[in-house]
Structure 1
Amino acid sequence: MPHVGAPEPTLDPSAHRPFASVEEYILRCTDEIWVDRGVGLIDTAYYDPEVRIHGAFGTSVGLAPVLAGTTQSIASYPDEVGFGEDVVWEPRGSQSFISSHRVYSTGTNTGWTSYGPPSGRHFEKRALAHCLVKDGKIIEEWVVRDEHRLVTDLGHDPHEVARRFAERGDWQPLELGDLPEDPIRTGVSGVRDSETAPAEGQRIVEMFDQMWNARRLDRISDFYDRDVVLHTSRGRTLQGLRQVSTETLDMLAAFPDAQQRILDVCIDDHPQRGQRAAVVWLLEGTYSGYDVFGPATGLPIQLLGASQLVLEHGRIVREFRVYDELALAIQIEQGRLRSTTAGS
């Protein structure tokens, strides 16, 4: 991928107008909205009026939820600094692209939040925003945040927060439409330009399927480097094959029948950063295993997640795995409340 400021050779300039490159578009529009506080640019410059946003609490359509959520977040954390760690992208036709923007945010909670009054406490969290952009407008977005890390940094009890939010019925199922059968060729972001699916993409899909669906964690060394570093939920950093394997097993122990579906894959080669990949995934199963999120309910769950992978010589040397454990706990508690109400 070219440096910021260099034109993209495979895209019409209208795809990332008014900027010279995809990376510049993603980084600059984020700064203009969040740092410069140009919230109205969501409406006038960067988002389609019928934009679809898929997140931890369901799917929203239109600008009103985006404008409201951005305004409230800036008011909650007015000194927040979001560092754009990386932008992984691919074209989707001559006038569209898919990008995965990894952001690490720090700040202080000096305003009200949905969790309560100002705590005055420092926070850190990571997010991944997978955006489909056409003719300079974001038309669809899949976004995940490590909200569990945020609420604990602010001094809140995640179990109490989950209970309160569940009572309000805040979680709704995602509206994803038909899930892709072959996400390498056609994912939720559309059809890949190349007629031949990249070998790296095929290996990534195979890796997710083998580890999560086939439960072949004995094959982890086929895909990950021995000294791999995994940055995952709750701000944790793990290292080595055994820790990465155990992290996956811990989730499967809570949801023993879970299956993971890949929604989208994009692969980006950069002259300095090397080869990186971005994956959007959906984990579905029943909460019938260990009581990680309170007493098991036997009810279905749906977890949207995203990963950015750094590859060297075909192996993953670093993974940034983001999903919202708080929203998962809210979903489980909400299902428990509804089940109890229906049975009474």
Structure 2
Amino acid sequence: MPTPVSPRISQVRHVPIEKLLKPVERGSFPMDGFDDDFGDIVDYIFKITHWIWADRAVGQIYDYYAENCTVYTGFDVTRSVEDVVTGTLSMLQSFPDREMDFINVAWSGDPKEGYYTSHLGFSRMTNLGPSSYGPTTGRASRFFTIADCVSRDNQIFLEWLIRDNGAVAKQLGVDIHELARRLAQDDARQGRKPWFADTLESLPAVRSPRQPAPLDRPKKSLEDRLRHTLHDAWNRRLLNVLHDFYDPDVVGHLAGGREIAGKDGLIYHYVQLLAAIPDAEFSFDHYCDVVETDGVLAAVRWSITGHHRGDGLFGAPSGKPVYVLGMSHFRFEGENVVEEWTLYDELSILRQIYAEPATADGEE
């Protein structure tokens, strides 16, 4: 398997925070437009995240997010730095002891068009205030997040963010279906739609009865291999390709706080999603990678569209159109994936499933 070739860059896996916080010499890594405090783009994304969340320097969001930055989640979209500040303060009000470990950072791009980073974090926190999940519970939660950010001239101007809300809800003792129903009712009253509403409205009612063709592209790079494998597994339903993709002892960290050991369990997760959304169409939306301390990491942002017409992960079939924003990190040793992190927001999917027509209060 070809190893990605890139300039020398900071590594974060199994590296102590004290070391990551030390100054990094910029060297040959191009960081035009960024402060001299940052040696490379991984150094930048780690330090600003640490300062904002660990040091509680929330006001530095104004320094490192563009005024009109756009942030997409599994349902909502915000379009200003004020929204980022408000969301951060709201999270800290509900979970004031939140701590986060940096697990992975993959990257691509350049300073002119913008650097793309995909960073995976693991958070520990206690619910000590009312939150979007409901009243204070006093319970602890442990969960993964992935934030894909695009940065230029020392500021993030575009972001896709997935928090494992399914895991958080379960650990807080919240019925995620009841929570999704309540949010869907609020959406109907306020006439609020997801940012991908136009995509849902244009979905064909029936999937083509013909199996999609193989991808017409080479298989030279790691990105090529991932594109072929995921297209074959998701769109062509050829799950057999996954047997050569995963190491027999692969470990998976999946949405909903699911921990999987072995490739059979990971392949079953594909089956569960495809059974719940039988006409699922998978889109490979972005790729980046990095050479880390213990292998090559590849990060993929992806999406699935289709109709909830099957039993399984999301309850009894509803027939509703759904959009799944997903992100995956794959850690390779040699030719095979030995560890995977895959996140999507179960709460956002259920919110679509329980969606109601707009009420009079929400009509324009």
- Give the TM-score band, short-chain normalised: 0.7 to 0.9
2:354 is paired with a residue whose SS is helix
* Alignment equivalent of 1:267, drawn from 276, 289, 297: 289
Work out whether residues 10 and 94 of structure 1, in 8 Å CA contact, stay in contact via their aligned partners in 2: no
State the shift of 1:89 in Å.
1.3
Q: CA separation in 1, counterparts of 2:79 and 2:36?
A: 23
| CA 238–101 in structure 1, closer or farther in 2 if over 3 Å, else same | same
* Alignment equivalent of 2:125, drawn from 83, 100, 107: 107
* Alignment equivalent of 1:37, drawn from 56, 61, 64: 56
Confirm or deny that 1:146 pairs with 2:164: yes
Q: CA separation in 1, counterparts of 2:220 and 2:26?
A: 24
Query: Which stretch has the larger CA shift, 28-37 or 138-147?
Result: 28-37
Q: CA separation in 1, counterparts of 2:27 and 2:316?
A: 52
* Alignment equivalent of 1:136, drawn from 151, 154, 165: 154
Q: CA separation in 2, counterparts of 1:201 and 1:48?
A: 30
State the shift of 1:173 in Å.
3.0
Work out whether residues 231 and 282 of structure 2, in 8 Å CA contact, stay in contact via their aligned partners in 1: yes
Work out whether residues 10 and 91 of structure 1, in 8 Å CA contact, stay in contact via their aligned partners in 2: no
Amino acid at match of 1:52: T
* Alignment equivalent of 1:161, drawn from 176, 179, 185: 179
Amino acid at match of 1:289: G
Find the counterpart in structure 1 of residue 224 from structure 2. 202
Query: Which stretch has the larger CA shift, 234-243 or 136-145?
Result: 234-243
State the shift of 1:51 in Å.
0.9
| CA 130–286 in structure 1, closer or farther in 2 if over 3 Å, else same | same
Confirm or deny that 1:289 pairs with 2:310: yes
Work out whether residues 59 and 174 of structure 1, in 8 Å CA contact, stay in contact via their aligned partners in 2: no
Find the counterpart in structure 1 of residue 279 from structure 2. 257
2:305 is paired with a residue whose SS is strand
Confirm or deny that 1:25 pairs with 2:47: no
Q: CA separation in 2, counterparts of 1:133 and 1:99?
A: 8
Q: CA separation in 1, counterparts of 2:25 and 2:219?
A: 27
Amino acid at match of 1:290: D
Work out whether residues 82 and 103 of structure 1, in 8 Å CA contact, stay in contact via their aligned partners in 2: yes
Give TM-score, length-normalised by structure 1.
0.87
Amino acid at match of 2:325: L
State the shift of 1:224 in Å.
1.6
| CA 236–32 in structure 1, closer or farther in 2 if over 3 Å, else same | same
Q: CA separation in 2, counterparts of 1:208 and 1:122?
A: 35
Work out whether residues 15 and 95 of structure 1, in 8 Å CA contact, stay in contact via their aligned partners in 2: no
1:138-166 deviations in Å (ceiling 9; x for gaps): 01011111101101111111111011111
Find the counterpart in structure 2 of residue 242 from structure 1. 264
Q: Structure 1 regions of 5+ residues with no counterpart?
A: 178-195
State the shift of 1:199 in Å.
0.5
Confirm or deny that 1:309 pairs with 2:330: yes
State the shift of 1:17 in Å.
5.0
Work out whether residues 275 and 312 of structure 2, in 8 Å CA contact, stay in contact via their aligned partners in 1: no
Find the counterpart in structure 2 of residue 321 from structure 1. 342
State the shift of 1:20 in Å.
1.8
Q: CA separation in 2, counterparts of 1:283 and 1:59?
A: 18
Q: CA separation in 2, counterparts of 1:17 and 1:328?
A: 42
Q: CA separation in 2, counterparts of 1:233 and 1:166?
A: 21
State the shift of 1:176 in Å.
10
Give TM-score, length-normalised by structure 2.
0.82
Q: CA separation in 2, counterparts of 1:330 and 1:252?
A: 19
Q: CA separation in 2, counterparts of 1:79 and 1:235?
A: 20
Q: CA separation in 2, counterparts of 1:176 and 1:37?
A: 37
State the shift of 1:327 in Å.
1.2
1:115 is paired with a residue whose SS is coil
Find the counterpart in structure 2 of residue 188 from structure 1. none
Find the counterpart in structure 1 of residue 244 from structure 2. 222
2:58 is paired with a residue whose SS is coil
State the shift of 1:237 in Å.
1.2
State the shift of 1:136 in Å.
1.1
State the shift of 1:126 in Å.
0.4
State the shift of 1:314 in Å.
2.6
Identity of aligned residues (%): 31
Amino acid at match of 1:124: R
Confirm or deny that 1:332 pairs with 2:353: yes
Q: Aligned runs of 1:156-195 on 2, under 5 Å?
A: 156-169=174-187, 172-174=194-196
Amino acid at match of 1:2: I
1:98-132 deviations in Å (ceiling 9; x for gaps): 11111100111111101222111111110000111
Q: CA separation in 2, counterparts of 1:217 and 1:78?
A: 43
